[in-house]
């Protein structure tokens, strides 16, 4: 007689094992809950005392009591706006290309597959590598047109809001473009999933009634996929706001007390400011860092809630 | 003008603009070209990463004070201090692997158990609350985990055993593990959910307990997905920067001194989790925060380290995806 996997051993022992495993799994699952609770609780306890309105206006200071997150907040807004303007069109465009223009020729199909593989790989590249890439390409432009302090090409003067220079230097635009590289794969993958969820019957109906391929995309597929694309984009932006490593390479830890005035202006962002405070030896600054984290997490939670709201409100089941 | 194609259940009539055949073809061609350009951009990004990292790394290896052999096999990493500079990457790799190993020690079993619980046992309402909580964990910026490791985990560890240094690998590893937990969990759960009901019912039918079904039937059936999830989260842990920069310290371990006193001391000094260690990513942070003069060997060395890091994560990601695609068992 062969002893299979379900050879009845002592019934009691098997049932006991079964019960113990459930309990073990529940403990495992509740540990992640516990981790989140401790994390949020400890940060709230440390940081709430410092949180007031002036924290949003004040500049970083040597005195913990006076330190605020003002410039970092404005820096985050500028950089994320630049990032969104660069990443969203590129990402959605790539997703449309990948999902709506499925090729028939074998060698073009291979190119398609290569692009898809390339995007999955880009999603796995550590963000600090993107920072180094941004530093070399955007900030220094390989050093071929002058250096950061002595730009080879300028347009306007640093007092104008439209000031532009090449190489970009450690400015808002370089930071935004670098962040765009980081979140681009996320935007592409999310948009692809949204487009894939649109049923083919809609496409076929449009094509059958005489639409060209682009008219079909513009008036049928895209409108149906917009809620999904927006949800994915908002989540990508919340990733961008929290990203510190590439910003650290681009901006460095600099003492910034002003709001950026133009796209070439030096900047700092909220995660970087938090890193700065958390790394200081004085424990008073850890409380300030915790307050900064509360603000950052509040922004991220708002973003996530918005994404969930859009998903619930606008995503109608399409058959 | 665009309208949602489906509004309150009826289809809004299409309004295709009718142009001449020629104009239409031109327009379609233009659109396709710009979309292809969008797609090309991501390929350009990959090429730029390769060119920048490996080009600068090549310049680093051409410098007189550096040799490729020392970089690949050296046990001493000492580019900034001291009269003699040493560029052997193993101390940094050791730091990275140590943090990753500790993180996986926590993330893999916990993540897998949570996934099994969510997929096989949990009531729908429990699932509905636990999943969003995991999503919140996944959305927390890594600098927050770094702060958490430094101000909560390290003092906690020190109160248990006072051999822990202020910056230590163990606390950074725990924080990276918490960070990886949602990735392991959600990817494994997807894999478990993809196992069809019939397999479970079949096992129940021949008298298996719930434990037998989950551990001996469902988990093996989903193994490729679970392995892929683990590899992807290892890649994330290897590339993690802010947590280790804040909590793991900024001194590369001197492995040579340890191994000079014998293999056992060497290995012990390499894996001691209570002390600080510098990882590959933390070294890059140190350099780009301005500890090095521009364009000296120590500055360029960060590109070589970044190239090594890129190769490591690239291999992990590719293998992970290969496994997921190739060994995915297809059930009808």
Tell me what percent of chain A is helix, strand and coil, each rounded to the nearest 5: 70, 5, 25
Q: How confident is the model over B290-327, as pLDDT tens digits?
A: 755 666 788 888 999 999 999 999 999 989 888 877 77
Of A204-218, B14-28, B146-160, which range is least confident? B14-28
Whether residue A160 is contained in a domain is answered as yes
Same-domain check for residues B43 and B101? no
pLDDT, position A78: 92
pLDDT, position B331: 62
Whether residue A287 is contained in a domain is answered as yes
Whether residue A162 is contained in a domain is answered as yes
Q: Which of B3, B5, B131 to mutate to test the interface with A (most CBs of A within 10 A)?
A: B5
Same-domain check for residues B218 and B116? yes
Whether residue A43 is contained in a domain is answered as no
Q: Tell me, what CATH number does A235's domain have?
A: 1.10.3720.10
Residues in chain B within 8 Å Cβ distance of A120: 317, 321
Which domain does A231 fall in, by range?
72-314
Whether residue B8 is contained in a domain is answered as no
Confidence of residue A10 (pLDDT cuts 50, 70, 90): confident
pLDDT, position A265: 83
Whether residue A230 is contained in a domain is answered as yes
Cβ pair B212:A252 closer than 8 A? no
- Sign of the torsion formed by the C-alpha atoms of B117, B122, B127 and B133: negative
**Is residue A318 pLDDT above 80, yes or no?**
no
Q: How confident is the model over A72-126, as pLDDT tens digits?
A: 899 999 999 999 999 999 999 999 999 988 888 888 888 888 899 899 999 999 9
- Our CA-based measurement puts residue A160 at a distance from the nearest CA of chain B, in whole angstroms, of 29
**Is residue B105 pLDDT above 60, yes or no?**
yes
Asked whether A253 and A271 are in contact (CB, 8 A), the reply is no
As a whole number, mean pLDDT of residues A210-224 equals 88
Under 8 Å CB pairs connecting chains A and B tally to 287
Overall domain count for chain A = 1
- Sign of the torsion formed by the C-alpha atoms of B232, B234, B239 and B240: positive
Q: How confident is the model over A166-215, as pLDDT tens digits?
A: 788 788 999 999 999 999 999 999 999 999 989 999 899 988 988 888 88
Q: SS3 for A6-43, per residue? A: CCCCCHHHHHHHHHHHHHHHHHHHHHHHHHHHHHHHHH
**Cα–Cα distance between B131 and B120 in angstroms, integer?**
14
Distance of CA A174 to the CA centre of its chain: 16
Whether residue A9 is contained in a domain is answered as no
ipTM of the complex: 0.88
Whether residue A154 is contained in a domain is answered as yes
Confidence of residue A131 (pLDDT cuts 50, 70, 90): very high
Confidence of residue A65 (pLDDT cuts 50, 70, 90): confident
Cβ pair A97:B36 closer than 8 A? yes
Same-domain check for residues B146 and B52? no
Q: Which of B11, B111, B133, B141 to mutate to test the interface with A (most CBs of A within 10 A)?
A: B141
Whether residue A101 is contained in a domain is answered as yes
Same-domain check for residues B89 and B113? yes
Q: Which of residues 186-205 of A touch B (CB under 8 A)?
A: 188, 202, 205
Which domain does B34 fall in, by range?
18-62
Confidence of residue A309 (pLDDT cuts 50, 70, 90): confident
Same-domain check for residues B154 and B267? yes
Asked whether B182 and A36 are in contact (CB, 8 A), the reply is no
Q: Tell me, what CATH number does B187's domain have?
A: 1.10.3720.10
pLDDT, position A251: 85
As a whole number, mean pLDDT of residues A281-304 equals 90
Same-domain check for residues B182 and B131? yes
Same-domain check for residues B80 and B152? yes
Confidence of residue B330 (pLDDT cuts 50, 70, 90): low
Whether residue B10 is contained in a domain is answered as no
Overall domain count for chain B = 2
Of A127, A137, A293, the CB nearest to B147: A293
Whether residue B332 is contained in a domain is answered as no
Whether residue B331 is contained in a domain is answered as no
Same-domain check for residues B100 and B78? yes
Which chain A residue lies closest to B138 (C-alpha atoms)? A239
Q: Which of B32, B143, B231, B306 to mutate to test the interface with A (most CBs of A within 10 A)?
A: B143
The encoded tokens of residue A240 equal 């961008």
Whether residue B233 is contained in a domain is answered as yes
Name, in order, each residue with C-beta under 8 angstroms of B247's C-beta and a sequence gap of 6 or more.
Answer: B146, B149, B150, B153, B154, B167, B168, B171, B172, B175
Same-domain check for residues B57 and B74? no
The encoded tokens of residue B132 equal 């969003």
Same-domain check for residues B22 and B79? no
Asked whether A136 and A237 are in contact (CB, 8 A), the reply is no
Residues in chain B within 8 Å Cβ distance of A192: none
What percent of chain B is modeled with pLDDT above 70? 91
């Amino acid at each position: 007689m062969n002893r299979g996997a379900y050879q009845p051993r002592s019934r009691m022992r098997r049932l006991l094992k079964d019960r113990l495993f459930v309990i073990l799994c529940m403990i495992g699952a509740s540990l992640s809950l516990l981790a989140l609770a401790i994390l949020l609780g400890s940060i709230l306890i440390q940081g709430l005392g410092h949180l007031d309105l002036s924290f949003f206006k004040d500049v970083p200071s040597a005195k913990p009591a006076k330190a605020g997150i003002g410039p970092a907040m404005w820096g985050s807004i500028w950089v994320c706006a630049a990032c969104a303007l660069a990443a969203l069109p590129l990402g959605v465009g790539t997703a449309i290309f990948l999902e709506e223009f499925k090729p028939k020729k074998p060698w073009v199909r291979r190119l398609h597959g290569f692009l898809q593989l390339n995007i999955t790989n880009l999603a796995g590249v550590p963000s600090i590598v993107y920072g180094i890439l941004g530093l070399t390409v955007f900030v220094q432009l390989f050093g071929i047109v002058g250096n950061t302090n002595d730009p080879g090409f300028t347009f306007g003067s640093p007092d104008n809001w439209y000031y532009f220079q090449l190489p970009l230097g450690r400015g808002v635009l370089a930071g935004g473009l670098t962040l765009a590289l980081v979140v681009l794969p996320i935007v592409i993958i999310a948009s692809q999933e949204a487009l894939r969820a649109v049923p083919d019957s809609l496409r076929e109906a449009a094509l059958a009634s005489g639409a060209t391929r682009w008219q079909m995309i513009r008036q049928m597929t895209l409108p149906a996929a917009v809620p999904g694309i927006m949800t994915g984009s908002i989540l990508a932006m919340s990733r961008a706001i929290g990203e510190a490593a590439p910003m650290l390479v681009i901006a460095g830890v600099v003492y910034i007390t002003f709001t950026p005035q133009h796209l070439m202006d030096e900047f700092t962002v909220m995660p970087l400011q938090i890193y700065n405070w958390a790394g200081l030896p004085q424990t008073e600054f850890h409380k300030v860092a915790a307050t900064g984290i509360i603000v950052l997490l509040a922004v991220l939670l708002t973003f996530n809630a918005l994404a969930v709201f859009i998903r619930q409100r606008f995503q109608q089941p399409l058959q | 003008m665009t309208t949602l194609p489906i509004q309150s259940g009826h289809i809004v009539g299409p309004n295709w603009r009718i142009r001449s055949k020629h104009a239409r073809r031109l327009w379609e061609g233009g659109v396709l070209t710009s979309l292809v350009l969008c797609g090309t951009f991501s390929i350009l990004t990959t090429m730029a990463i390769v060119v920048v990292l490996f080009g600068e790394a090549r310049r680093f290896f051409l410098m007189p004070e550096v040799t490729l052999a020392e970089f690949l096999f050296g046990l001493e990493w000492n580019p900034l201090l001291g009269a003699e500079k040493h560029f052997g990457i193993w101390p940094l790799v050791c730091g990275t692997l140590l943090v990753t190993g500790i993180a996986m020690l926590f993330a893999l079993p916990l993540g897998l158990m949570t996934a099994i619980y969510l997929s096989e046992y949990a009531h729908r309402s429990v699932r509905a609350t636990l999943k969003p909580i995991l999503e919140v964990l996944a959305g927390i910026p890594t600098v927050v985990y770094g702060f958490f490791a430094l101000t909560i985990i390290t003092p906690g560890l020190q109160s248990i055993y006072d051999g822990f240094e202020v910056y230590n690998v163990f606390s950074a590893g725990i924080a990276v593990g918490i960070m990886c937990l949602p990735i392991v969990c959600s990817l494994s759960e997807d894999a478990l959910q993809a196992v069809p009901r019939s397999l479970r019912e079949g096992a129940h039918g021949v008298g298996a307990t719930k434990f037998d079904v989950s551990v001996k039937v469902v988990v093996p059936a989903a193994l490729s997905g679970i392995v892929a999830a683990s590899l992807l989260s290892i890649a994330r842990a290897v590339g993690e920067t802010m947590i280790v920069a804040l909590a793991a310290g900024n001194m590369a371990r001197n492995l040579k001194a340890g191994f000079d006193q014998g293999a056992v001391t060497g290995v012990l000094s390499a894996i001691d989790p209570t002390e600080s260690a510098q990882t590959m990513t933390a070294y890059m942070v140190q350099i780009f925060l301005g500890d090095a003069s521009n364009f000296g060997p120590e500055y360029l060395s960060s590109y070589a380290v970044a190239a090594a890091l890129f190769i490591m994560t690239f291999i992990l990601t590719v293998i992970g995806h290969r496994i997921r695609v190739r060994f995915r068992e297809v059930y009808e």
